[in-house]
A and B are shown apart, each in its own frame.
Chain A
Amino acid sequence: MHIESQREGLQTTDNPLGMEGIEFIEYLTTKPQALGQVLETLGFHPVARHRSREVLLYRQGDMNIIVNVHDAADGRLASAQGSPVIGAIALRVRDAGLAYRRALDKGAWAVPTQVEVMELNIPAIHGVGSSRIYFVDRHKEFSIYDVDFVPIPGVEKRPAALAQMHFFGAVQYIGWERTEDWTAFYAELFGFTTIPDQTRFGILPKGRLLRSPCGTFYFQLVEPEPGLELEADGQEYLERIGLGTPDVAAAVAELKQRGVLFSESVRAPISDRGAVVAGQLFGLSFELVHSDRA
């Protein structure tokens, strides 16, 4: 991974927000228990509950996943089939307030916050579709979860990751001829850069790959297949997340033992480069991607 520039602190212009990876990814669902089961088979553990809302925090290694039931009735649940949807991605940044104001000045749409007394006001902007992008700067000495969440008694607060899994990226389905637009969006607001077409990760190489300025997270922009552009009806959303692991085969073996089903189709076979977890909870899918970052 290309994180050398970070070591020497040279990233100020290339990394305008001081981005340092992903703090959490949020799913919205009307079926929190079913989604929780899926996450647990993937190695996540429920570690905390939100103080005032029906929101659960799942964790393994450095990955936090928030399962949000509270917002399920507010119209952000776009999936007609009842499949959980990715509702938000939280970026770790140097200064959340600065990052937020900078984004607004560049043309992002602010998300009005609705916090209860004593809860953290985490600034957010609108992302693709109905999703949100949060800015979090409290991820080192203390965390946002210390304030808004109550630990679930008796559980390990920092469970280790299976097969050294970590957040690798997110696949975003976009409308016809929208690749340039979304490339500009992530470049302008966060400093993501396009990586060459010949550099690809995982087993589903379609579309354009954008790398975060900190080099630890990717967005993959995928337009509809030619001929299906009308059927796609311009819908745009975060389709799935990618989990990185240095040893795909070991991860697949371990996850299979836990009951995870993988696609073994011709289009998405299991290989050293990656594998696709398919058919979970109304079509919810995850992708394993070979990545040496532990």
Chain B
Amino acid sequence: MTQFNGNIDSFGMDTISLAGPLEGKLKAMREAGFTQVMLSARDIVGHEQGVEAAIRVVKDSGLRVTGFQVLRDFEGLSGGLREYKVDIAKAMLALCSAVGSKVLLVCSSTSTHATGDMDVIATDLRRLAMLALPRGIKVAFEGLSWGRTINEFPQAWDAVCRADMPNLGLGVDSFHAFATRTDLDLLDEVDPDKIFLVQLADFMWHEIRSVEERINTARHFRVFPGEGAHSAEVAELVRKLDRIGYRGDYSFEVFNDDYQQIPQATVARRAHKSAVWLGETVLQRSVPLPGQMRLKRARLG
């Protein structure tokens, strides 16, 4: 880095926050000072020149891939639907591996066809983790706040514990935790080494009154940490995760319709400001020693 990077190496942007082609998204992130990117499968599959070209673009960007998203509605199905979803999962894992991602994000099921039986859910997650294992991929399971059975991180953690696979862990998304007003102290129950991804976002209104409004807000009105009405809560969550020993990545999961209408560089600069706030003010991180960075990179694979 030639510019001041503000200790933001733990923070990255999601491609879903930016409009336009993949090349432009990655360039904007890199030029803003980010070193990692959370990729959406749509960016790869929807690339104008095809999947191979998209993979090359990612590799040439020099950005480390934080993770790959998102596998939905996987667990709790039966019969042909279950096998269909396993095929989808395999295709996602193959793509995840091809882009050099070590983490696949999986959201809890919203399907009315899925059972709420936690034993079945755990068995399915265990199978998914096994599918991911030979490729060296970790599965981060996240409780979507409108998930049918699992809609808060403590339930997602329960499923992860029941499934009990070393490469299956928790994905924590601040938006969902705030939307369901889940007690953050419940993170004390979670093994920090089993949190495989943390996604951060803020939003502009203080309260979400219905599930419909929750879905609408999540998909269109998120903002970067520090930009919304929940800055104090985001800061509290990040400090809490740091206190329990989480040392992994934070990605900004910001779906925002406005950001789709302004230049990529402008959005990336806003994200960078947010990352600096988190790194400098919230976590008060000191500049790491070169040896620590090397070890961390190795751990992240």
Tell me how many residues of A have a C-beta within 8 Å of chain B.
24
Q: Which of B133, B294, B298 contacts A184 (CB 8 A)?
A: B133
Is B136 a contact of A106 with CB atoms below 8 Å? no
In the docked arrangement, what's the CA distance between A265 and B144, Å?
57
B165 contacts A by Cβ under 8 Å: yes
Q: Which of A106, A177, A236 contacts B130 (CB 8 A)?
A: A106
Is A184 a contact of B136 with CB atoms below 8 Å? no
In the docked arrangement, what's the CA distance between A220 and B133, Å?
17
B239 contacts A by Cβ under 8 Å: no
Q: Give A174's nearest chain B residue, CB to CB.
A: B136
CB within 8 Å for A230 and B294 given contacts A107-B131, A177-B299, A181-B133: yes
Chain A residues 101-119 with CB under 8 Å of chain B are: 105-109
For A105, list chain B residues within 8 Å (CB). Answer: 127
For B301, list chain A residues within 8 Å (CB). Answer: 175-176, 234
For A180, list chain B residues within 8 Å (CB). Answer: 166
CB within 8 Å for A107 and B126 given contacts A177-B299, A184-B165: yes
CB within 8 Å for A188 and B134 given contacts A177-B299, A229-B298, A234-B301: no
For A106, list chain B residues within 8 Å (CB). Answer: 126-127, 130
B270 contacts A by Cβ under 8 Å: no
Chain B residues 136-187 with CB under 8 Å of chain A are: 136, 165-167
Closest chain A CB from B119 CB (angstroms): 15
In the docked arrangement, what's the CA distance between A180 and B294, Å?
22
Closest chain B CB from A147 CB (angstroms): 29
Is B134 a contact of A184 with CB atoms below 8 Å? no
Tell me how many residues of B have a C-beta within 8 Å of chain A.
18
Per-position 1/0 for A123-157, Cβ under 8 A of B: 00011100000000000000000000000000000
Is B136 a contact of A175 with CB atoms below 8 Å? yes
Closest chain B CB from A173 CB (angstroms): 13
For B129, list chain A residues within 8 Å (CB). Answer: 107
Q: Which of A107, A176, A184 contacts B127 (CB 8 A)?
A: A107
For B126, list chain A residues within 8 Å (CB). Answer: 106-107, 188
CB within 8 Å for A188 and B294 given contacts A109-B90, A178-B136, A236-B136: no
In the docked arrangement, what's the CA distance between A175 and B136, Å?
8
For A188, list chain B residues within 8 Å (CB). Answer: 126, 130
In the docked arrangement, what's the CA distance between A180 and B301, Å?
15
B128 contacts A by Cβ under 8 Å: yes
For A183, list chain B residues within 8 Å (CB). Answer: 166
B206 contacts A by Cβ under 8 Å: no
Chain B residues 103-149 with CB under 8 Å of chain A are: 126-131, 133-134, 136
A201 contacts B by Cβ under 8 Å: no
Is B134 a contact of A176 with CB atoms below 8 Å? no
In the docked arrangement, what's the CA distance between A229 and B301, Å?
9
In the docked arrangement, what's the CA distance between A128 and B128, Å?
17
For A178, list chain B residues within 8 Å (CB). Answer: 136
Q: Give A189's nearest chain B residue, CB to CB.
A: B130
Closest chain B CB from A95 CB (angstroms): 21
For A184, list chain B residues within 8 Å (CB). Answer: 130, 133, 165-167
In the docked arrangement, what's the CA distance between A176 and B90, Å?
24
Is B134 a contact of A230 with CB atoms below 8 Å? no
In the docked arrangement, what's the CA distance between A176 and B299, Å?
7
Is A126 a contact of B134 with CB atoms below 8 Å? yes
Closest chain A CB from B206 CB (angstroms): 42
Closest chain B CB from A292 CB (angstroms): 33
Closest chain B CB from A184 CB (angstroms): 5
Q: Which of B90, B134, B297, B298 contacts A128 (CB 8 A)?
A: B134
Chain B residues 74-128 with CB under 8 Å of chain A are: 90, 126-128
In the docked arrangement, what's the CA distance between A205 and B62, Å?
38
Candidate in B127, B167, B294, B298 with the most chain A CB atoms within 10 angstroms: B298
In the docked arrangement, what's the CA distance between A229 and B295, Å?
9
B residues near A (Cβ < 8 Å) are 90, 126-131, 133-134, 136, 165-167, 294, 297-299, 301
10 extra A-B contacts, CB within 8 A, seeds A107-B131, A107-B133, A126-B134: A106-B126, A106-B130, A109-B131, A175-B301, A176-B299, A182-B133, A183-B166, A184-B166, A229-B298, A230-B298
User: Can you name 18 A-B pairs with beta carbons within 8 Å?
Assistant: A105-B127, A106-B130, A107-B127, A107-B128, A109-B90, A109-B131, A109-B134, A126-B134, A128-B134, A175-B136, A176-B298, A176-B299, A181-B133, A184-B133, A185-B133, A230-B294, A230-B297, A236-B136
